[in-house]
C-alpha cells in the first residue's frame, strides 16, 4: 500500500521566493498545493499562471491574510470571495494562522469551500528555525500528512535550503506526493 503526503505553501506568490520553490519542485518531480494571498496573486498574475501551468493546485488564503478571530462572518467571507478573480474560483481554502471561527467555517462550507488545515507545520517562518528544526517536524509525517511551508520572505532562504532535503527524506521513506482536491 502506498503512502501519500501533501506539500503545501502559504502566503505567496511573491517573485523573491515562489519561482525558486517552483524550480525545486520541478527538479524533484513533485506537485504541491499553493494557498495564495489574494493581494499577492493580484500583483503577480504571472506567478499564479506559472503555478497552474506546472500542474500545481491553487487554494485561497484570504485576500488580506486575515485572522478569523475578531472579524464578522460577512467581512471575512467577503475577503475570501475577493480572491476569486485572481485565483480562478478555487474552492480550496486555508485560514491564515489556522484561525477561523465556527460561523465563518460554516458559511464558507455552505459556499462550497473545502477548508484545509495541516498536521505538519515546519515553522519555517520562525526566526530561530533551522534546517534541522524544520526537518524534525517533517519527520513526523505519516500517510495523508499535510505539510506546510511558506513561500514568503519570512521563510526565505532557509525554507528553500530545507525543501529539497525534506523532499528527499520523504521519498526515502516511500512517500508519494499528491495535490489537494475539493
Is 150 one of the annotated active-site residues of the chain? yes
Is 56 one of the annotated active-site residues of the chain? no
Helix (H) or strand (E) holding 34: strand 33-36
| Active-site position among 11, 61, 124, 150 | 150
Phi and psi, residue 42, nearest 5°: -65, -40
Set of cell numbers at residue 54: 506546472
| Active-site position among 10, 11, 124, 151 | 10
Give bridge partners of residue 8 from the DSSP assignment: 33, 148
Distance separating alpha carbons of residues 3 and 35, to the nearest angstrom? 23
- Report, as residue numbers or ranges, the catalytic residues: 10, 150
Amino acid at each position: 500500500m502506498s503512502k501519500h503526503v501533501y506539500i503545501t505553501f502559504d502566503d505567496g506568490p511573491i517573485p523573491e521566493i515562489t519561482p525558486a520553490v517552483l524550480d525545486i519542485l520541478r527538479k524533484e518531480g513533485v506537485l504541491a498545493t499553493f494557498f495564495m494571498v489574494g493581494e499577492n496573486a493580484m500583483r503577480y498574475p504571472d506567478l499564479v499562471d506559472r503555478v497552474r501551468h506546472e500542474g500545481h493546485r491553487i487554494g485561497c488564503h484570504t485576500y488580506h491574510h486575515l485572522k478569523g478571530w475578531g472579524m464578522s462572518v460577512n467581512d471575512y467571507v467577503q475577503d475570501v470571495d475577493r480572491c476569486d478573480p485572481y485565483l480562478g474560483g478555487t474552492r480550496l481554502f486555508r485560514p491564515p494562522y489556522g484561525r477561523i471561527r465556527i460561523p465563518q467555517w460554516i458559511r464558507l462550507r455552505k459556499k462550497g469551500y473545502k477548508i484545509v488545515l495541516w498536521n505538519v507545520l515546519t515553522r519555517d517562518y520562525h526566526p530561530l528555525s533551522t534546517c534541522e528544526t524544520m526537518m524534525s517536524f517533517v519527520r513526523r509525517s505519516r500517510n495523508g500528512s499535510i505539510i506546510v511551508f511558506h513561500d514568503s520572505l519570512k521563510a526565505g532562504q532557509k525554507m528553500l535550503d530545507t525543501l529539497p532535503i525534506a523532499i528527499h527524506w520523504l521519498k526515502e521513506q516511500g512517500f508519494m506526493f499528491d495535490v489537494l482536491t475539493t
